[in-house]
Amino acid sequence: VRCQHYPPLRALQASAVLGRVSDEHKKEPLTSSSQQHFDSHPAGHQPEEEPQGPRPSYTGQGGQESEDYESEEQLQHRILTAALEFVPEHGWTAEAIAEGAKTLGLSVAAAGMFHSDGSELILHFVSECNTKLSELLEKEQKLVQLGKAEKKPVDEFLRDAVEARLRMLIPYIEKWPQALSVLLLPRNIPSSLNLLSSMIDDIWHYAGDQSTDFNWYTRRAVLTGIYNTTELVMMQDSSPDFEDTWRFLHNRVADAMNMSSTASQVQSTGEAVVQGLMGAAVTVSNAETSRALR
């Protein structure tokens, strides 16, 4: 009986390792993440670092299994990342995923692992962009700490961060409206909201937001509003290098800065009004008391 399967270690979580390497596996330069996993159990989730250049191909030879992967989730990540380059042509669809799988040497049927509406592909892309943004902000912060760069004022920081993040959409901008509508499907809303809010959180964190009070919520709400509206403007922008969008962004951030100073003005005015009322009440009660005593 020809029995050519290797007893697999069942991978239930992303941290389990499945070591199944064929004899004829080509010793190509593995991606850095695969190298680590191959030798030891990864502690938990590792950020996917996919090389942006030509991918090592995993085409099989003869009848041997030719992949080397660590768990189902990580393989899925690799497929989705490979699929991104086909999005401009095929959109955020199962077709793009199938093409991506093909470049990894897998059958097109592997796209069946994902939803046919491309949700996972879009969420994967958003998550990757957010990670890239975090890394960018982290690097900038280091430069400031080392004294090699000036600390930006808050409004400039926000503008630059949002612009950097939105620029990542440019290669896919034609199909992005489709992606936005998929992200709004009820099924996807929890994940997409989660990704959005953690990105906004990140930006404020690097902007130096230390607040632990009511301001924390207002700041996030305001920045989310700025980000979403700018994103929508960008979809319809046809100016060279999206300069209209950046101008819009500049204005919205300026508005937000003004609004916050207005808000504190309102607050102090409010306090003043309350104090006035209190004073008036005390005066009136004093007057009553003194009249009663007369």
What are the residues binding another protein (CB under 8 A)?
A: 1-6, 8, 10-11, 58, 60, 62-63, 65-67, 69, 72, 75, 94-95, 98, 101, 104-113, 116
- Indicate the residue among 106 and 161 with the shorter CB distance to another protein: 106
Q: Least distance from C-beta 175 to another protein, angstroms?
A: 13
| Residue 110 Cβ vs another protein, minimum distance, rounded to whole Å | 4
DSSP string spanning the chain?
A: -------PPP--STT-------TT-------HHHHHHHHS---S-------SSPPPP----TTS-----S-HHHHHHHHHHHHGGGHHHH-SSHHHHHHHHHHTT--GGGGGGS-TT-HHHHHHHHHHHHHHHHHHHHHHHHHHHTTSSPPPPHHHHHHHHHHHHHHTTGGGGGGHHHHHHHHTSTTTHHHHHHHHHHHHHHHHHHTT----STHHHHHHHHHHHHHHHHHHHHHT--SGGGHHHHHHHHHHHHHHHHHHHHHHHHHHHHHHHHHHHHHHHHHHHHHHHHHHH-
Kindly state the smallest distance separating residue 67's Cβ from another protein, in Å.
6
Residue 76 or 230 with smaller CB distance to another protein: 76
CB of 25 or CB of 167, closer to another protein: 25
- Identify which of residues 104 and 183 has a Cβ nearer to another protein in the complex: 104
* 104 close to 59: Cβ distance less than 8 angstroms: no
State in angstroms the smallest separation of the CB of 228 from another protein: 30
φ and ψ at residue 91, rounded to 5 degrees = 80, -175
Cβ proximity to another protein, 3 vs 293, nearer residue = 3
Closer residue to another protein (CB): 57 or 289: 57
Nearest distance from residue 73's CB to another protein, in Å?
Answer: 10
Report d(CA 11, CA 107) in Å as an integer: 21
Taking the least distance from each CB to another protein, the nearer of 73 and 156 is: 73
Residue 81 beta carbon to another protein: minimum distance, rounded to whole angstroms: 15
Least distance to another protein, CB of residue 150, Å: 47
